[in-house]
Amino acid sequence: DIQLTQSPSFLSASVGDRVTITCRASQGISSYLAWYQQIPGKAPKLLIYLASTLKSGVPSRFSGSGSGTEFTLTIASLQPEDFATYYCQQLYPYPFTFGPGTKVDI
């Protein structure tokens, strides 16, 4: 099975900061990667799929890039509602796996 690692596992930031989270896959997965945001007590929310496609309705300050084994999620200017935990997920092949998460805190 494909393993995902994320770095950092914890990130302390301020409103307005540019934030970058990295996800690495144990083998190449082309662009089959998604990013999710989870606020405590809530279900995850899809932000980006196929590595760089922004889901409709997601603010444009979120962007994704990468292919193969290294991917990044960037938040251009952190807003108060962005303090959450972010997960990457590989989408091919099965079984799909999630990264361990990156908590973005104030």
Partner 1 sequence: QVHLVESGGAVVQPGRSLRLSCSASGFTFSSYAMHWVRQAPGKGLEWLAVISYESSNKYYADSVKGRFTISRDNSKNTVYLQMNTLRVEDTAVYYCAKEGAPPASYSSGIDYWGQGTLVTVSS
Q: Interface with partner 1 by CB under 8 A: which residues?
A: 1, 32, 34, 36, 38, 43-46, 49-50, 53, 55, 85, 87, 89, 91-92, 94-101
Which pair of structure tokens corresponds to residue 68? 């193969």
For 68, phi and psi rounded to 5 degrees? 80, -105
Three-point CA angle 30, 66, 79, nearest 5°: 135
Closest distance of CB 26 from partner 1, Å:
14
Residue 20: CB minimum distance to partner 1, A: 20
Check: CB of residue 49 under 8 Å from CB of residue 62.
no
CB 101 within 8 A of CB 4: no
Cβ distance to partner 1 smaller for residue 4 or 19: 4
Find the shortest distance in angstroms from Cβ 94 to partner 1. 4
Compare residues 68 and 101 and give the one whose CB is closer to partner 1. 101
